[in-house]
Amino acid sequence: MNVTATSVWNNCLAFIQDNIQPQAFKTWFEPIKPVKLSENSLSIQVPSKFFYEWLEEHYVKLLKVSLTKELGENAKLIYIIKMENTYGNKEPFTERIPSSNRSQQVAPQELEVAIKSKNPELKNPFVIPGIRNIKIESQLNPNYSFDNFLEGDSNRLARSAGMAVANKPGGTSFNPLLVFGGVGLGKTHLAHAIGVDIKDKYPERTVLYISAEKFTQQYIESVKKNTRNDFIHFYQLIDVLIIDDVQFLSGKSGTQDVFFHIFNHLHQNGKQVILTSDKAPVDMQDIEQRLLSRFKWGLSAELQTPDYETRVSILKNKLFRDGVEIPDDIVDHVARNIKTNIRELEGAIISLIAQSSFNKKEVTLELAQQVVEKFVKNTKREVSIDYIQKVVSDYFEMDVATLQSKTRKRHIVQARQLAMFFAKKFTKASLASIGSQIGKRDHATVLHACKTVDNLAETDKQFKKYIDDLSKKFS
């Protein structure tokens, strides 16, 4: 019988399959393709460098035994790694690496790379493949702890789940743990607290906190520099991955795709993933279904607006930590009037203390009233895309369905374009997300709308007036 790369490899596979778990066989051996046989060297193609390293680390003995059975004592195995280098019209290319068990040249080195930077950016988030031990600066803020994350009915579930995760990262059913809630309700604080506690309890584990925005920037950069594989590889090495504000991935399909793969890898390997979002998974727009379903695998815990008692405790705790004393009726006034955002609650008390010390005034109830009033007034209301569509439709005396319709009638097109323009201006939503929420249009249509509005603002007086009137309604 003719001995070919395929026949040799099939015999190896039969042997390997008998010796490992079916799932591991499926994951690590089925994707391999035999490529070439020359004398006693078999070349196999593997999907990535990470794959090659995994095989070398976990299955090299098995590979050796099976190959020796087929090709004798001098058998050699060569890995061919298919590199994803399809950006910039280049063809994918391959890189050859002999098995470390056959050649000393590429024995994985035990090096240590420290990535440290003072600023919160990950300057160089990539590791060179083959390097085993890495030290990654966690980017955690030690000021955010469980101790100073006060418990109340509004956050009990999320806080307890966070503590359970910190006690046993990757070992609870809260994986991923998704913490969601409105602006300023403590998502970032809780996410850091979990990471900080894990680092305390398990200093050897690699924990990384990163905002979804930064993650996206790094990914885009890696695509530009052709280092996408290194990017994935880096994230796959992390034990506890904390991604803040995942709603930012909305409409960014490339980043979602890469995150999906990283997520699966971490999850399959018992690593912990912690996510925060300003919405529940059901309300997330423009996030792929397969990713949303992953988000729902673990626990989604909501941070709700704190009740009065919790608001008072948060304020008193803050004052205590800052060593400031303020009469109870003043704390009560602030807590009663600022209800929906803990950042604002803290902000009000800080400005109250500042006002009193700069102006050398006593902290009186009257001063508290002034500060709170200003604070509440100055607080920018969050504008949603739904709200923008409602305001624009009302202004042009049409209903929202008409604004979203497919009609090309000029005044309706203009209203739609204005809604898109304001959505771009006043929300953080991506063009794709705006388009899909305003009549299911694509991102190019939104971009065109924004340019048209800019142009008309300069050339058409009546149109300029629409913009000014509407702007007033939003500010």
Q: Could you tell me which residues are annotated as the binding site?
A: 184, 186-188
Tokens representing 365 are 């109830």
Angle between helix 461-474 and helix 385-395 axes, rounded to 10 deg: 130
Q: Which of 45, 155, 272, 389 binds ligand ATP (CB under 6 A)?
A: 155
CB of 21 to ligand ATP, least distance (A): 41
Instruction: Say which residue the tokens 């089925």 belong to.
Output: 30
Q: Which stretch binds ligand ATP (CB under 6 A): 45-53, 85-93, 165-173, 177-185?
A: 177-185
How do beta strands 76-83 and 41-46 pair?
parallel
CB of 35 to ligand ATP, least distance (A): 49
Binding residues for ATP: 184, 186-188
Q: Which stretch binds ligand ATP (CB under 6 A): 84-92, 146-154, 279-287, 390-398?
A: 146-154
Q: In this complex, which beta carbon is closest to ligand ATP, that of residue 181 or of residue 435?
A: 181
Q: Quote the CA–CA distance of 400 and 392 in Å, as a whole number.
A: 9
Q: In this complex, which beta carbon is closest to ligand ATP, that of residue 34 or of residue 184?
A: 184
Backbone angle region of 306, left / alpha / beta, with phi > 0 → left and psi within -120 to 50 → alpha: beta
DSSP-assigned letter for residue 87: G
Q: Residue 233 is inside which H or E element, if any?
A: helix 228-236
Q: In this complex, which beta carbon is closest to ligand ATP, that of residue 70 or of residue 278?
A: 278
What is the strand order of the sheet 93-98 is part of? 33-38, 41-46, 76-83, 93-98
Cis ω before 176 (30° cut-off from 0): yes
Q: Which of 81, 97, 150, 352 binds ligand ATP (CB under 6 A)?
A: 150
- Phi first, then psi, for residue 437 (nearest 5°) are -85, -20
Which of positions 180-219 make contact with ligand ATP (CB under 6 A)? 181, 183-189
x/- track of binding to ligand ATP for residues 337-356 (CB under 6 A): -----xx--x----------
Q: Quote the CA–CA distance of 51 and 44 in Å, as a whole number.
A: 12
Please report whether residue 275 would count as binding ligand ATP according to CB under 6 A: no
Cα torsion at 28, 222, 271, 142 (round to 10°)?
Answer: 160
CB of 474 to ligand ATP, least distance (A): 19
Number of residues located near ligand ATP, criterion CB under 6 A: 17
Which parts of this chain interact with ligand ATP (CB under 6 A)? 148-150, 155, 181, 183-189, 278, 314, 342-343, 346
